């Protein structure tokens, strides 16, 4: 928890999770971190080139009981100038093009496969979405346990 100097109250750390399209990886990561950590973090996601939330991301998150059907794809520009404590990039493109956030920001990067880019039948694509979701979940649980 961070100290809000204006009011003397503790605030949860602000986390921004970035990927290219804010359609799958960062959307799933935002929802997972929020669901797994309760009020410990204030979590957002965005993309460097937002494309809209992928329907298979919505489906695989619903399988875990997490509803992202009302989520919207956001551009990173919406968060420029806002204080962030952590900026987490979940793909190499976002890591390379991530803008600078002012203040004491901790940048973390871990590249996950883009499930939205996978071709094949629906079963094969769903398998990749599920695997990436589970990899994100494991990585974010480790992140949260060390903060």
Residues marked active site are found at: 19, 91, 98
Give 86's strand partners.
15, 106
Nearest CA among 128, 143, 29, 139 for reference residue 85 = 143
Determine the angle formed by the axes of helices 122-145 and 25-37, rounding to 10 degrees.
Answer: 40
Give me the sign of the Cα torsion angle 137, 84, 14, 82: negative
User: In sequence order, which residues have a C-beta less than 8 Å from that of residue 39 and are 6 or more positions away?
Assistant: 12
Sheet arrangement for strand 42-47: 42-47, 14-19, 86-89, 106-109
Give me the sign of the Cα torsion angle 11, 91, 70, 36: negative
């Amino acid at each position: 928890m961070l100290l809000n100097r204006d009011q003397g109250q503790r605030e949860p750390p602000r986390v921004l999770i970035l990927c290219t399209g804010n359609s799958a990886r960062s959307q799933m990561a935002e929802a997972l971190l929020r669901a797994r950590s309760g009020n410990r973090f204030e979590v957002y996601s965005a993309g460097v080139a937002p494309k809209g939330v992928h329907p298979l991301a919505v489906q695989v998150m619903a399988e875990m009981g997490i509803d992202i059907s009302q989520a919207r794809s956001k551009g990173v520009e919406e968060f420029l100038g806002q204080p962030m404590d952590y900026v987490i990039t979940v793909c190499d493109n976002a890591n390379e093009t991530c803008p600078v956030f002012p203040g004491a920001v901790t940048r973390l990067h871990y590249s996950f496969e883009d499930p939205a880019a996978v071709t094949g039948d629906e079963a094969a694509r769903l398998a990749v979405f599920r695997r990436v979701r589970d990899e994100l979940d494991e990585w974010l649980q480790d992140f949260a346990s060390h903060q």
